[in-house]
Amino acid sequence: MSGEPNFGRKLLGNARNIAFWLVLFLLILALFNLFSGSGNTLQSRSVPYSEFVAAVDDGAVSQVTLDGEAVRYRGADGQDYTTIKPQDAEITQQLIDQGVPVKAESQEQSGFQTFLVSLLPFLLLIGVWIYFMNRMQGGGKGGAMGFGKSKAKMLTEKHGRVTFDDVAGIDEAKEELEEIVEFLRNPQKFSRLGGKIPKGALLVGPPGTGKTLLARAIAGEAGVPFFTISGSDFVEMFVGVGASRVRDMFEQAKKNAPCIVFIDEIDAVGRHRGAGYGGGNDEREQTLNQLLVEMDGFESNEGVIIIAATNRKDVLDPALLRPGRFDRQVTVPNPDIKGREKILGVHARKTPLGPDVELRLIARGTPGFSGADLANLVNEAALMAARVGRRFVTMVDFENAKDKVMMGAERRSMVLTDDQKEKTAYHEAGHAVVGLALPKCDPVYKATIIPRGGALGMVVSLPEIDRLNWHKSECEQKLTMTMAGKAAEILKYGEENVSNGPAGDIQQASGLARAMVMRWGMSDKVGNVDYEQAHEGYMGNGAGGFSISAHTKELIEDEVKRMIDTAYQEAKSILEERHDEWERLAQGLLEYETLTGEEINRVIRGEPPEAGDDDGGAAEAAKPSVTAIPKTKPKSSPGSGDGGLEPEPST
């Protein structure tokens, strides 16, 4: 129903534009016709008046046209000439005496021509002025003067209706927002008891968790207009444009109330005021001030609910988060195992699955995955099945897709020498053996020496359950496994022959050790102080803070180095104790290139890995299986890669 008025307004605007350009064309055409009469003079050759008189005396003039002071004549050669007659010269009688045909043109224009010539410039100016005023006041949003109009787009049923059935894995967030849907359906239910619906809801969560999809589901369930806009669409280089767009957006919303306005990435416009952005006249701050007033100022916006999404709540201005503006702050986290299974089911609706596919098994192996990661996993599996001509997606396709997402695409075309392969095998075998020897390390999921992404090889370890926090002992053992690659290279080839392969390991170990010392208070010498926040500035926005003294910096670096050195020595000791297991695994990697968790255990025991049997891989996949989170992706190194145990521990 709401599409008909919009269509009518759009049609009227197009008609106005067409009429304007048509009138402008007719005026230009009339002007051209008016002055085209003098165009023939451009083809005449101008001569001195004396030459004209001489030609008359010689009888070399066949025809003359007198047009005021201008004289046009045709010579005996058939060529047209033009000249200017002096004011006191009389040539008419002489021409008649010579028998030359003489034609005189009137110097007076018609009243219409005179009026048109005098009025035409004004008509052009008025037409251009009307056109630009029309564009500025709503005739169009894409013109030169339309930059002050809101860029919010209204989604309708034709864009695809999304409901809560299409959103899975975030049940708690859905429950908090169902009350908003109920209010939009039946506002009297709340108003008769004096209750007021929240004016705004802020969706906070990591990227890919479904914040935008959840907002669309609210609009789909309530059946109301849904306006969507990005926070960056408000701010332009012109001062005041952002505030104008905010006003226009709320005017549109009021006309379509009850409705939902969704602002994606609101941190682009809602950052903390005065945090290194200049004075109060800053364009971004004016836009934010206008947004604050529109959400809860002197005028109320009944029936307009603002939903915003961000993954940077820490940088938002406190005025946005107070009651009366964003009354509810809904956390949209990464789903748990049940949520992941439901999300896989949603994304697999249009994908034919084979009888061996168990979504719960895949969900168990994807701790920390977001909804977008799981959607990407299903899509990659479908593409791989289609590539080999299958009619449905099997568990093997999911395993291959998991490896591609988790470790990168295989680079089998990359040529490696035997020496490079051997160094990579011993490096990765060191990670795996140490990881298996330490009880608090995550289970080893897979080891490979096939180049993937930017790494020549890697070992991937995944937790058996969703990890919510990290303990000091776990972090220390994680450091030990990370440094095992370099320890393996030094034990095998000596100090002088160590490669740059451990570069990624060193980077990861340094990051983890600094987090333990500077953020988590896991060093007794440094103490329970957040030195990382002190380094970045107060509240992490550069608006102030305190510096770290030289003594404290030295103490922090000493503790970081001590933790890494201790982990390296422990990894070296484990490899010396388990030298035979390490050798067997390295040789197994050289022979089979890729080994799963259970196959690694068989090779270490001296048994054949039973390559080609998927049972072991499937059984091991029941513990950790697929992963694709940015935090847990194995990071590549310039050399032989690194052990894939790289999630940043979360508090």
Active site residues: 428
Kindly state the tokens that stand for 249.
């957006």
67 is in an annotated binding site: no
Query: What separation, in Å, do the N-terminal and C-terminal C-alpha atoms of the chain show?
Result: 50
427 is in an annotated binding site: yes
535 is in an annotated binding site: no
What phi, psi does 333 have (nearest 5°)? -85, 175
212 is in an annotated binding site: yes
Q: What is the rounded distance in angstroms from the CA atom of residue 374 to the CA atom of residue 340? A: 8
Kindly state the tokens that stand for 432.
């795996």
Q: Enter the DSSP assignment of 64.
A: E
Cα 600–Cα 604–Cα 606 angle in degrees, nearest 5:
120
552 is in an annotated binding site: no
Kindly state the tokens that stand for 597.
């968790």
Burial of 133 (C-beta count, 10 Å sphere; 0-12/13-18/19+): exposed
116: Cα separation from own chain's centroid: 55
CB atoms within 10 A of CB 323: 11
CB atoms within 10 A of CB 187: 15
Residue indicated by tokens 């209010």: 183
151 is in an annotated binding site: no
159 is in an annotated binding site: no
**Can you tell me whether residue 420 is helix, strand or coil?**
helix
210 is in an annotated binding site: yes
Q: Yes or no: say if 101 and 64 are a contact pair by the CB < 8 Å rule.
A: yes
Q: Enter the DSSP assignment of 497.
A: G
Q: What is the rounded distance in angstroms from the CA atom of residue 400 to the CA atom of residue 619? A: 16
Q: Yes or no: say if 209 and 333 are a contact pair by the CB < 8 Å rule.
A: yes
**Residues in Cβ contact with 76 at an 8 Å cutoff, skipping those fewer than 6 apart:** 59, 60, 61, 62
What phi, psi does 418 have (nearest 5°)? -60, -35
525 is in an annotated binding site: no
505 is in an annotated binding site: yes
324 is in an annotated binding site: no
Binding site members:
205-212, 427, 431, 505
Residue list for the binding site for Zn(2+):
427, 431, 505
Per the annotation, where are the binding residues for ATP? 205-212
